[in-house]
Amino acid sequence: MSTDVRVRVDGVDVVVPAGCSVAAALRLTGHTATRRALDGSGRSACCGMGVCFECRVRIDGVERLGCLIRVAEGMEIACDA
C-alpha cells in the first residue's frame, strides 16, 4: 500500500501523504490560504472539524470543506485564494 498520493492543486501535480485531509495537504504543499476575505486577506483552515468554514475549496468541481475530506489519488483541488 502506497504511503503517498498524487493530487492536482490549482493545476499543479503534487504528492502528499495518503490519509491526510485536503486542508493538511494544502498546508504541506505551501498553500497558506484557501480563499480570500472581503478585505483581501488570506483565509485557511482554522478549527479542523468543519465548524469555521474557512477551509472551503473546490474538490473535483464541488465546493467542500477541506478539513473533512481525505485526499484521494487523482483528486483535483482548487483554491479561491
Per-residue pLDDT of the chain (81 residues; tens, 9 = 90+): 569 999 999 999 999 999 999 999 999 999 989 888 899 999 888 888 889 899 999 999 999 999 999 999 999 999 986
What per-residue confidence (pLDDT) applies to 2? 66
State the Cα–Cα distance between residues 70 and 9, nearest whole angstrom: 14
Residue for grid cell 472581503:
38
What per-residue confidence (pLDDT) applies to 1? 53
Cα 1 to the center of its chain, rounded Å: 23
What per-residue confidence (pLDDT) applies to 62? 97
State the Cα–Cα distance between residues 35 and 10, nearest whole angstrom: 12
Query: Which secondary-structure segment (H or E) carries 24?
Result: helix 22-28
Q: What are the residues facing 57 on neighbouring strands?
A: 64
Q: Which domains does the chain have, with CATH numbers?
A: 4-78 (3.10.20.30)
Q: Is the overall model pTM greater than 0.85, yes or no?
A: yes
